[in-house]
């Protein structure tokens, strides 16, 4: 029987996996001191607890409204960091990345305990280049600024890219990860936030720099999370060095993507949280959706997974039920 790591590699490289990869089983996620400052609640937290709020290292106020699936930035006039994109340099300050070795100790210890023969030691990066841009100013202002003030937007994106590269230096020096799990939501359920041409203009080169840095420093696998429609950006993902597009919702027509791009990139998702991860979820619905996804996408270049950007689910039991059904489909199809 292949290890989880071996089975993952066989799947994404078109080899001979002996079962479906079970969601995030092959990725052991860990964080960094800079990430903790960016999300100042705890080592493994992505922000404030339900009902709370916090200001992160970029000066963005994050609030977790009770009853919502996660925390979001506040963009009313009192909290928006960038109110005039032409004056962004006066208000946006780069968070520190020069953490001493002592601050890395607890993370190095966690990384050292990862069984790298069985799983990938995977560093997580949340709030990527596009998300960081609109976290600072709000999604409406951000999208308008691409048209109205492209020069200032190019400068801001380059500034955020510089931060990501400095962040990567510490990660690769101290943690030496095998894989990167990078978040950046690029679309809604029906479309991307920008055209491929606009994405190319503002983000493609930056992502090529960031992902090239990680790959030149020992990172074997890059998983990019965007739980949205992003089918029209798959060629860009391939060009920037993404190995796995995680979060690909059913609206992407994942079986078609597997047929068209399998061998150049793999797909991890096609089990929408909006369909399965809800208060009235049932095992019957989970069974039906997992079977559909596994049969339609096949054994290679596809990993059945909830589209959420990390192991777990909003409602208790959903993630585990999906795993059980993936095991069932492995017995049937392998």
pLDDT, tens digit (0-9, with 9 covering 90-100), for 298-321: 999 999 999 999 999 999 999 999
In order, the DSSP letters of 43-76 are: TT-SSPPTT-EEE-TTS-EEE--TTSSS-EE--S
Is residue 182 classed as helix, strand or coil in its secondary structure? Answer: strand
- 49 has a pLDDT exceeding 80: no
Would you say residue 286 lies in a domain? yes
Q: What average pLDDT does range 122-151 have in this prediction? A: 96
- 38 has a pLDDT exceeding 80: no
Report percent pLDDT > 90 for the chain.
88
The pLDDT, as a whole number, for residue 72 is 87
In order, the DSSP letters of 129-153 are: HHHHHHHHH-HHHHHHHHHH-HHHH
Would you say residue 80 lies in a domain? no
Tell me which of 232 and 55 has the higher pLDDT: 232
Would you say residue 62 lies in a domain? no
Would you say residue 194 lies in a domain? yes
Question: In 3D, which of 225, 26, 204, 23 has the Cα closest to residue 124?
Answer: 225
Would you say residue 71 lies in a domain? no
The pLDDT, as a whole number, for residue 48 is 73
Task: Name the residue range of residue 250's domain.
Answer: 4-34+85-333
The pLDDT, as a whole number, for residue 41 is 46
Would you say residue 299 lies in a domain? yes
The pLDDT, as a whole number, for residue 40 is 52
Which range has the worst mean pLDDT, 23-27, 57-61, 172-176, 326-330?
A: 57-61
What CATH number did the domain enclosing 238 receive? 3.20.20.210
The pLDDT, as a whole number, for residue 46 is 52
Would you say residue 49 lies in a domain? no
- 125 has a pLDDT exceeding 80: yes
How many other CB atoms sit within 10 Å of the CB of residue 67?
7
Q: Mean pLDDT over all residues of the chain?
A: 94
The pLDDT, as a whole number, for residue 39 is 62
Work out how many domains the chain is built from and give that number: 1
Is residue 49 classed as helix, strand or coil in its secondary structure? Answer: coil
Distance in angstroms (rounded) separating the CA atoms of residues 321 and 82: 43
Cα–Cα separations (whole angstroms), residue 143 to 134, 147, 200, 302: 8, 7, 15, 32
Q: What angle do CA 274, 127, 67 make, to 5 degrees?
A: 40
- 93 has a pLDDT exceeding 70: yes
Would you say residue 256 lies in a domain? yes
Quote the pTM value.
Answer: 0.95
């Amino acid at each position: 029987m292949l290890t989880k790591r071996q089975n993952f590699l066989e799947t994404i490289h078109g080899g001979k996996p002996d079962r479906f990869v079970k969601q995030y089983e092959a990725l052991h996620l860990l964080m960094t001191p800079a990430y903790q400052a960016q999300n100042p609640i705890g080592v493994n937290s992505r922000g404030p607890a339900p009902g709370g709020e916090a200001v992160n290292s970029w000066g963005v106020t994050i609030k977790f409204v009770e009853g919502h699936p996660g925390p979001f930035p506040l963009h009313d006039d009192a909290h928006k960091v960038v109110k005039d994109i032409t004056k962004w340099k006066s208000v946006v300050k780069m968070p520190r990345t020069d953490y001493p070795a002592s601050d890395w100790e607890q993370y190095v210890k966690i990384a050292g305990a990862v069984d790298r023969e069985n799983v990938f030691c995977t560093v997580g990066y949340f709030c990527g280049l596009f998300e960081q841009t609109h976290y600072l100013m709000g999604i409406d202002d951000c999208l308008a600024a691409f048209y109205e003030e492209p020069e200032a937007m190019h400068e801001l994106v380059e500034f955020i890219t510089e931060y990501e590269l400095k962040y990567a230096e510490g990660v690769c020096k101290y943690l030496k990860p095998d894989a990167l799990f990078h978040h950046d939501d690029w679309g809604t359920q029906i479309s991307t936030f920008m055209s491929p041409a606009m994405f190319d203009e503002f983000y493609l080169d930056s992502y090529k720099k960031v992902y090239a840095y990680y790959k030149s420093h020992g990172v074997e696998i890059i998983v990019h999370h965007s739980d949205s429609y992003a089918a029209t950006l798959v060629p860009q993902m391939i060009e920037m060095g993404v190995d796995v597009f995680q979060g690909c919702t059913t609206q992407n027509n994942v079986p078609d993507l597997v047929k068209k791009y399998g061998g150049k990139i793999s797909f991890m998702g096609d089990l929408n949280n909006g369909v399965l991860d809800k208060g009235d979820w049932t095992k019957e619905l989970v069974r039906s959706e997992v079977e559909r996804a596994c049969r339609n996408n096949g054994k290679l270049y596809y990993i059945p997974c909830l589209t959420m950007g990390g192991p777990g689910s909003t409602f208790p039991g959903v993630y585990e039920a999906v795993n059980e059904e993936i095991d069932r489909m492995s017995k049937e199809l392998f």
